[in-house]
């Protein structure tokens, strides 16, 4: 058993144009002041990190990590959620996702995809320079518009989509392997990798590529009515990253999982600040500790009601209270009799 590291916070929901969220120096001081020991960095946030420079220069990465350390936090991982999304985009979502890309490739799906692949590869190289062996990402999606089979999906459609998805990610995963970095896909609605079954389909097409791993976030499983505790046991060898995020699912006679096109406040399934939702985090942290997860517990704040800065400060204490410092001895060691093999055989009548 291993003790999880933390608390840490994902800065994706906080990076912005106003202080203290508009510079690396200020946001790391803010995170430490909130009670965090680590920060997960969104690599698309140019006000925080120069990804190209990080990919090219270990000196830059040492300075980047050093400034964070001087301010009281560690860099836990880098994230390429937005760039990973653009590795595979169904044409129905071209316009919606174009804003994730650099201006010069918008409106050009082929150039946008090439840019996204290069971005993820740069983040892998930057992770190596920082001595970090896990990178967060989304898989993107080609089959998502065909999730609900009406009209019935043509035979082979899903297989073709996953073969193409794997084909696009294979060179990236090979680059990750060369740099000793695991790509941790956040299993998430809107992605082709949105549950265990789809993750396994992806792995099959990649012949079990060792660098294709999971970012575990129970909130997305609550909203799918999926057993998020059993999921940890099933995929314990592939779970390399952990987002601590809460959610609630309260179906009514009017709506359920699909949400009826309602806003987040009015949906049956809603993301909530830690402790305000339905996730059994005592069970989650216990299962993680028992399964030897030794990564970071990273708060991803999303809530349809609470102010983000309140959620962030409360989240640090919430995670601190749930991290289990694992025991080095059995609780009943005091009753041990110090026996040996000969005694064991006698006790068994052998």
- Per residue in 184-237, pLDDT (tens digit) is 999 999 999 999 999 999 999 999 999 999 999 999 999 999 999 999 999 999
Beta bridge partners of 9: 39, 299
Contact 42, 323 (CB under 8 A): no
| Farthest-apart Cα atoms in the chain, separation | 80
**DSSP H or E run through 197:** helix 196-205
pTM of the model: 0.94
Q: What is the pLDDT of residues 36-83, one digit of tens each?
A: 999 999 999 999 999 999 999 999 999 999 999 999 999 999 999 999
The string of pLDDT tens digits covering residues 277-317 is: 999 999 999 999 999 999 999 999 999 999 999 999 999 99
Please check the confidence at residue 331 and state whether its pLDDT lies above 70. Answer: no
Residue 107 domain boundaries: 5-347
For residue 43, what is the domain's CATH number? 3.20.20.150
Number of domains in the chain: 1
Q: What is the DSSP letter of 238?
A: T
- Look at residue 328 in the predicted model and tell me its pLDDT: 74
Dihedral sign computed on CA atoms, order 44, 97, 309, 295: negative
Determine the pLDDT at residue 87: 98
Distance of CA 306 to the CA centre of its chain: 22
DSSP 16-35: -SSTTSSSHHHHHHHHHHHT
Angle at 58 between CA 57 and CA 59, to 5 degrees: 90
ω into 151 cis (within 30 of 0): yes
Measured CA to CA in angstroms, residue 164 lies from 106, 159, 168, 192 at distances of 22, 9, 6, 11
Instruction: Confirm if 126 and 205 have CB atoms less than 8 A apart.
Output: no
């Amino acid at each position: 058993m291993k003790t999880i590291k933390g608390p840490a916070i994902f800065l994706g929901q906080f990076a912005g144009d106003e202080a203290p969220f508009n510079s690396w120096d200020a946001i790391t001081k803010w995170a430490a002041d909130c009670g965090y020991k680590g920060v997960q960095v969104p690599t698309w946030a140019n006000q925080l990190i120069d990804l190209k420079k990080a990919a090219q220069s270990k000196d830059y990465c040492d300075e980047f990590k050093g400034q964070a350390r001087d301010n009281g936090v560690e860099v836990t991982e880098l994230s390429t959620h937005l760039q990973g999304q653009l590795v595979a985009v169904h044409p129905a979502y071209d316009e919606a996702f174009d804003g994730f890309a650099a201006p010069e490739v918008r409106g050009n799906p082929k150039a946008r995809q090439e840019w996204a692949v290069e971005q993820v590869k740069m983040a892998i190289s930057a992770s190596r320079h920082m001595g970090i062996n896990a990178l967060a990402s989304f898989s993107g999606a080609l089959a998502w518009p065909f999730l609900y089979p009406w009209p019935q999906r043509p035979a082979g459609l899903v297989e073709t989509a996953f073969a193409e998805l794997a084909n696009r990610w294979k060179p990236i995963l090979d680059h990750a392997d060369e740099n000793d970095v695991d790509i941790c896909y956040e299993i998430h609605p809107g992605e082709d990798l949105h549950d265990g079954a789809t993750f396994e389909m992806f792995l099959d097409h990649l012949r079990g590529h060792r660098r294709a791993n999971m970012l575990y976030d129970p909130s997305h499983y609550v909203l799918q009515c999926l057993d998020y505790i059993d999921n940890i046991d099933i995929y314990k060898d592939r779970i390399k990253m952990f987002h601590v995020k809460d959610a609630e699912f309260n179906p009514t006679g009017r709506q359920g999982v699909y949400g009826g096109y309602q806003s987040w406040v009015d949906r049956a399934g809603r993301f909530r600040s830690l402790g305000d939702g339905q996730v059994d985090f005592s069970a989650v942290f216990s299962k993680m500790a028992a399964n030897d997860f030794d990564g970071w517990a990273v708060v991803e704040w999303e809530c349809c009601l609470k102010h983000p800065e309140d959620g962030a400060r409360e989240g640090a204490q919430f995670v601190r209270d749930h991290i289990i410092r694992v025991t080095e001895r059995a609780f009943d060691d005091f009753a041990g009799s110090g026996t040996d093999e000969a005694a064991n055989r006698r006790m068994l009548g052998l």
